[in-house]
Amino acid sequence: MTTPLLDMLNVTKTYPGPEGGPPVEVLRGVTWQLNDGESAAIVGPSGSGKSTLLNLAGALDIPTSGAVRLGGVNLAEADDTKLARVRRELVGFVFQQHLLMPHLTVLENVLLPLLADQRGAAPEEYARELLDRVGLSSRLHHRPAQLSGGEQQRVALARALVRRPRLVLADEPTGSLDRATALVTTQVLLDLYQALGFALVVVTHSLELASRMARRWTLAEGRLEPLA
């Protein structure tokens, strides 16, 4: 039997209430699995816990109760060093805001994750290949301010992939883009997914983007359910 890449079992996440009020339960008994190479979309209203779920899936946080296993590692039992290694070796993140370093060039931004990578998993040639795949081979030495919003997001996609992750977590990757640019960015993301074979989880308000994923889920009132 294949071990899931990501395995959540009865996960809850609770935060302290404001001004000493009662705790806020953001996730309630979430059980969910994702295998290598699968794609999934999570949709739901603002404040439903979608970003919290991604943070748990990407080893940025640990659950209040229940278990999250990523690559076979129980995240609640891992120390900070091991959590950092799991993130570094397994996960690529794409956010709605591109979070590019304004003083670095496009190529330097994509190479930035390698500064903390002791494995030497991806040489500069691979970063250049990724930028070519996203249509930015002519922008290697531009800075973010010289790019459009869609181009900046494509740089962010390349940066997320430069360490060859098994899992890519995309939090509203087209949320700040106009529809035409969002369609182009979506197609670039799907082309990369098909070509490179990573598992992909997209959190989105866009049912159009969600429809392109193989599996679709809705998160509401802290509960994750399959989307019809």
- 53: Cβ contacts below 8 Å, ≥ 6 apart: 27, 30, 42, 203, 219, 224
User: 6-226 has which fold?
Assistant: Rossmann fold (3.40.50)
- For the chain, the average pLDDT equals 91
- 59: Cβ contacts below 8 Å, ≥ 6 apart: 68, 70, 75, 78, 83, 86, 87, 90, 91
* pLDDT: which is higher, 42 or 17: 42
- Please state the rounded mean pLDDT for residues 18-43: 92
What's the predicted TM-score (pTM) here? 0.92
- 181: Cβ contacts below 8 Å, ≥ 6 apart: 148, 149, 150, 174
3-state secondary structure of 218: strand
Q: Where are the domains of the chain?
A: 6-226
pLDDT of residue 116: 62
Q: Does position 204 have pLDDT exceeding 80, yes or no?
A: yes
- Please state the rounded mean pLDDT for residues 131-147: 95
Q: Does position 76 have pLDDT exceeding 70, yes or no?
A: yes
In this prediction, residue 227 has a pLDDT band, given cuts at 50, 70 and 90, of confident
What is the rounded distance in angstroms from the CA atom of residue 203 to the CA atom of residue 14?
A: 20
